[in-house]
Structure 1
Amino acid sequence: MMRVVPSVPPFLPLEGVRVLDLTSSLAGPTATEILAALGADVVKIEHPGRGDEARDWGPRFFEGGSVMFFSANAGKRSLALDLKDERGRDVLLRLAERSDVVVQSLRPGTAERLGIGPDDLRARNSKLVYCTIGAFGRRGPLAADPGYDPLIQAAAGIMSVTGEPDRPPVRVGVSLVDIGTGVWAALAIVAALHEGVGRTLDLSLYETALSLLPYQIADVLAGAETPGRHGTAFPLIAPYEVFPTADGELMIVAGNDRLFASLCEVLGLPELAGDPRFGSNPLRVEHRAELVSLLRPRLAERATEELLEHLRAAGVPASPVLDLDEVARHEQTLATGMLQELAGRTIVAPPLSADGERVLHRSAPPLLGEHTAEILAEADYEAAEIDRLTAAGVVRVVQAGNEPAR
């Protein structure tokens, strides 16, 4: 008889959870996109006239806006709602009574001023998880200041340790702080839902940035010299950096004595492993400049692929430095299943599999106000009421296909 392999049920642990998403830009939308991929019904609440500012961050990528918006808002429904209008506030309050989570990233004090702060909403729904994502946190001299990813990279010291030693600091080339904050917010929300008693959660870009510098800050507070910039090198391990080859660049990671000895063998320099200057990692770090000056000429003589073949055979971790076009088409990228077709575009799926199945985004990012009417109807608004709110500009109702721009 043919053995029937049971299908794996979709991994939707948050199915049945309603999330009101009052965030914009990238950090908050990243958090709520994760929740949506895990099964939550995420209602993205946007101003009816302008929507999330990230819709305009870059060229038009799909009918609803930019590639950044597309990448951070899959799986959500859009409710276009003016929260400064008392009628819009009433809509939100009604929705909050029926929801499990609220996430907001408004300027400090704005939610409270509008009457939609944590005390206002949790008074109506005690089990509500209310998550605020701010710039610098609730307390301190910068608590009222706005913040974006590159500003926080500067303020928290990330730029001070990024770049070449003899050149100015540079911004990390990805939205590290925004996306990191989004992941932490999603984790905090899931933990609070598991607890089941309702919580007021606070996260900030600045706190996330500090968490990305744990050993550097601990070392400085213990009296160490303030870290500088080391290019591609890692200040605590050597050799652990990018080296030029005859036809490209190669990141080589010799993280212990065994790997260092293997690297030396591959390069025809076995004597370096026994050199007293390089006998341990602390000694190699101390004599990094001398070591690198001996390794570079040998590496520069050989082609990248030939070096990779021998380094891999010897067990030495190494990788060519690839650009994103190469990465997007790399067989390893394709093998992971991380690239997902969605509304005629290809999007990066969540970096998570369950029982061997990739977790995927469940629908395309919404147009502004695309789901306004159905969300209001679910909250028991009659059609005539929806028409009045629309005519008054309190809500925006859009009914259109979500097709990518060509």
Structure 2
Amino acid sequence: MLLGDLGAEVIKVENPKIGDDTRTWGPPWATNKDPNDRSTPESAYFLSINRNKKSITVNLKSPSGIDIIKDLVKQSDILVENYIPGKLDKMGLGFNELSKINPQLIYASITGYGQTGPYSNNAGYDVVIEAEAGLMYITGEEDGPPVKVGVAITGLYTHGAIMAALISRSKTNLGQRIDCSLIECQVASLANIASNYLISNQEAKRMGTSHPSIVPYQVFPTKDGFIMIGAGNDKQFKILCNIIDRDELMNDPRFATNSDRVLHRKELVSLLEERFKNETTDHWLSLLFDKEIPFGPINNIQRTFEHPQILARGMIQEVDHPKAGKIKLTGIPVKYSKEDLKIRSPPPTLGQHTREILSNLLHYTNEQIAILEENDTSDDEFESNIPRTTETFCKYTKCNT
């Protein structure tokens, strides 16, 4: 999706029978625009991550299906797959085989545990890896159970790796294999928590919204809700004390520096909690606005999408879906000075572009397509890293940026 946002032509290869598993991950569903259409509607989950893509259905268990993939590879810059290591190799679709067809191909593999190591053949879902890689252990309140982080992050690492591989290819004229695993990305995301352990053998603990090395840096209850405060340095702490009319705190030797405040965390947090809960959230927001203090309310999703900044930055876009009609999607978060990035096409229906791709891109004849359609059966017995996963091909030469 990220590559598609930047202008790449993305072809999503799906199981002919049911397609990408996330098509069935509902409710919630997008209501079919035709009241007489009794077919299963599209899931909100699928719609959230499949804009700017074309869908083609291919039976990977048939020789003709393998040939279609190889024909696509000849014209593609990037292949993204997340099968268990070795599965595509057995089908003749591994990196070594496909790089012979297209030496410039960038072949990105996303797996649970990577291509090597004792766990490499294990399937992995993001939430399982969050638990195993320590991220869940540090997420949640100190005296509560561990909880999962809201969304997956591995695609962000893979996207950056692909962009770097494209730069490398521009110099060498050769593609390469990218091995990106959930577990390594999760470990990398531990950031300063990992460093605290590796440098000083300091074990982490759950701290809710607070920060292990900065105080105050957490959520505080107000009279009618909550507010997040992040006073990341001594200057900001002094400004905060002045705003909340607690100047005596900045003169207290226990709170003179950030290091002092970390040592006396409980005392300071208790004093701040007493102050913040005496007034409403809106009261504090009005006082803190434009005062060089990082702050924000705890918004629900409705208030998030009503936020003036979100609206001003175009983070809600409406597209016309062939089955669901007008739907709203999150906008593209990155802005370029020379490009106006927009959602060019809605998430596709299953196999919506199969004939278009086979005919216009691969130049198959109508007779060839008819034979393929007649023989097209499900490949849902094929084991993948995430069952019935998909491949995505990106024609980077058509990118705008």
| Interval containing the TM-score (normalised by the shorter chain) | 0.7 to 0.9
Report the counterpart of residue 287 of structure 2 in structure 1. Answer: 310
**Which residue matches 2:317?**
340
Q: Is the 8 A contact 1:97 1:125 kept in 2?
A: yes
- The normalised TM-score by structure 1 is 0.85
CA RMSD in angstroms, aligned pairs only? 1.7
Tell me: CA distance 1:100–1:356, structure 2 relative to 1, closer, same or farther (3 Å): closer
| Corresponding residue number in structure 2 for 1:386 | 369
C-alpha distance in structure 1 between counterparts of 2:62 and 2:118, whole Å: 31
Structure 1 position 359 matched with structure 2 position 350: no
C-alpha contact (below 8 Å) 1:95/1:379 kept by paired residues: yes
Name 1:74's counterpart in structure 2: 51
Letter in 2 for 1:38: L
TM-score (norm 2): 0.86
Equivalent-residue separation in structure 1 for 2:100 and 2:260 (angstroms): 61
Q: Is the 8 A contact 1:88 1:395 kept in 2?
A: no
Which residue does the alignment assign to 1:42? 10
How far residue 358 of structure 1 moved from its aligned partner, in angstroms, is 4.4
Q: What is the CA–CA distance in structure 1 between the aligned matches of 2:52 and 2:368, rounded to whole Å?
A: 27
Aligned to 2:133: 156
Equivalent residue runs for 1:155-194 within 5 Å: 155-172=132-149, 174-175=150-151, 178=152, 180-194=153-167
| Partner residue of 1:201 out of 168, 171, 178 | 178
Q: Counterpart in 2 of 1:58?
A: 26
Larger deviation: 49-58 or 210-219?
Answer: 210-219
Q: Secondary structure at the match of 1:201?
A: strand
Letter paired with 1:61: A
SS of the aligned residue for 1:386 comes to helix
Matches within 5 A, 1:372-383: 372-377=354-359, 378-383=361-366
Q: State whether residues 17 and 378 of structure 2, in contact with CA within 8 Å, keep that contact through their aligned partners in structure 1.
A: no
Note the 1:6-405 alignment, pairs <5 A.
Answer: 33-59=1-27, 60-61=29-30, 65-172=42-149, 174-175=150-151, 178=152, 180-196=153-169, 197-312=174-289, 314-343=291-320, 344-355=326-337, 358-377=340-359, 378-394=361-377
Q: CA deviation at 1:225?
A: 2.2
Helix, strand or coil for the counterpart of 1:215?
helix
The percentage of counterpart residues that share the same residue type is 39
Deviation at 1:96, TM superposition (A): 1.0
**Do the aligned residues in 1 keep the contact of 2:48 with 2:329 (CA within 8 Å)?**
yes
Worse-matched range after superposition: 50-59 or 303-312: 303-312
4+ residue runs over 6 A deviation: none
Secondary structure of 2:142 counterpart: coil
Q: 3-state DSSP class of the match of 2:274?
A: helix
- CA deviation digits over 1:150-179, x for unaligned, max 9? 11110111111110111110111x21xx3x
Task: Name the counterpart of 1:23.
Answer: none
**Counterpart-to-counterpart distance in 1, 2:291 and 2:75:** 59
TM superposition shift of 1:224: 3.0
Distance 1:131 1:360 in 2: 25
The 1:338/1:262 distance shift into structure 2, 3 A limit, reads same
Does structure 2 conserve the Cα–Cα contact (< 8 Å) formed by 1:389 and 1:395? no
SS in 1 for 2:13: strand
Q: Which is further off, 213-222 or 227-236? A: 213-222
Q: Which has the higher contact order (CA 8 A, sep 6+)?
A: 2
For the residue of structure 2 that corresponds to 1:120, the secondary structure is: helix
CA distance in 2 between counterparts of 1:110 and 1:285 reads: 51
Contact 2:234/2:258 (<8 A) preserved: yes
Displacement after TM superposition at 1:34 (Å): 1.3
Alpha-carbon separation, structure 1, partners of 2:46 and 2:334: 21
Q: Which sits farther off after the overlay, 310-319 or 297-306?
A: 310-319
Distance of aligned partners of 1:231 and 1:69 in 2 relative to their CA distance in 1, 3 Å threshold: same
SS of the residue aligned with 2:200?
Answer: coil
CA pair 286-356 structure 1, distance change in 2 beyond 3 A: farther
* 3-state secondary structure, aligned to 2:30: strand
